[in-house]
Structure 1
Amino acid sequence: MTTEPPILSTHGLCAGYGDFQALFSVDFEIMPGEVVALIGANGAGKSTLLKAVMGLLPSNREMIRHAGVPVGGSAPYQMVQNGFAMVPEGRRLFAGMTVEDNLLVAVDHGRKNGAAIWTMQRVFDLFPALASMRKRLVEKMSGGQQQMVAIGRALLSQPKVLLCDEISLGLAPKVIGEIYDSMPAITKAGTAVILVEQDVSRALAASNRLYCILEGRITLSGNSADVAREDIARAYFGADHAVA
């Protein structure tokens, strides 16, 4: 009997910026339809891991695998073609363009990734607030509405793996709740989701498993429902601290 390989895995992944090494031999994996949280303090290496996976930082080919196939060092557009999409910190929407135009940018890329699971209408069903704003310039929207556009744009590229970098940062609790409420519909379609999240409680509630990074190294991994808060505190800070 064959065992399905992870949709994404890293193997001894090392990455950094010039002479500065930010990741040290990171082993990570995620299965189709799974939500995995990536937690850690600022500067721990969370965003660096996402950037390395997306080909925004150089890596050895064998260090990153898509469904068991080595893809490390691929260009970002190749990773998009492989079925990876990133919702970057800060959203990075196209100013001067409407909600609809920002979404349409991803539709053309999505057509290259096979049959469309995500359509414009399905994005509007996922985030009803956007439907009546489709002709609005994105810079005229609230931060939460912009984040919904950023997630919708990523979904329209038909990803197998959605990488979300700090999607709750700076948003009101009600809006954060609305965004996280969309996760079951995303994973139901078979999409795996990696959540980089500062709010440990929200990360635990939203994910199947978690990894904690400290100074570029994985210090803890396990099922989100089973990991003790004391263990998270030690892994997060490197000492005994309480985690709110």
Structure 2
Amino acid sequence: MRQLIPALFLFSSLFLLFTFLSIYPLPVSLPFPFSALFPPPHAGAYKLVFILAGQSNMAGRGPLYSDSDPYDQYSPHLSVLRLNRWLHWETAREPMHYDIDVNKTCGVGPGLVFAKSVLQKVHYSYGEVVIGLVPCAVGGTKIEKWTKGLGLYDSAVKRAKAAVEAKRGGGRIEALLWYQGETDTVNFDDAEVYAEKMETLIRNFRADLGLPHLPVIQWYLLIYLADMVF
């Protein structure tokens, strides 16, 4: 019996570690998706899916540890999931883009706060629901980097389609959340053609996802004025 105690202790420790990592993933890209072994609660549930796309503003650059969160907006919620880089659902937590925007140091972004707000409002009307977030944003990217046929756009479409597949619980894509444009405000010529490129991007997303009326929630950014002469 004494010989079994170390083995049981090791097994229990590994089980707790894997469970913790599946619910509270480390803010680094790991070589193995622990969530595949120990999926979080509601991973197989039908989800209301939101795509998070754009650049650093969406990926998140806010401080991870702060005393300025009196309403507990940034803590994980078991009914808010994120699709990780391996296309497995895991409990959503900040940094939301830790395994997507891998060349930058990610922090707090708008995705989790938005999802928890939606969850609260929808819950009162429809009862228990699960929100699925699909992080796709990459810092420092101009809108031209999101052209159809290029890596960022194609990856976002692929991930969005995967998020609603039946083998992952199914779901419905509710909206594209777009927070991007700062890189396109540095040069006035880029800013002038931004609206046209944005309209094209929206048309492409709606066509490729088969959702002609897909809502797009867009944050606006002002043009840099430092080098402009009046």
TM-score, scaled to structure 2: 0.31
TM-score, scaled to structure 1: 0.30
> Which has the higher Rg, Structure 1 or Structure 2?
2
Q: Which has the higher strand share?
A: 1
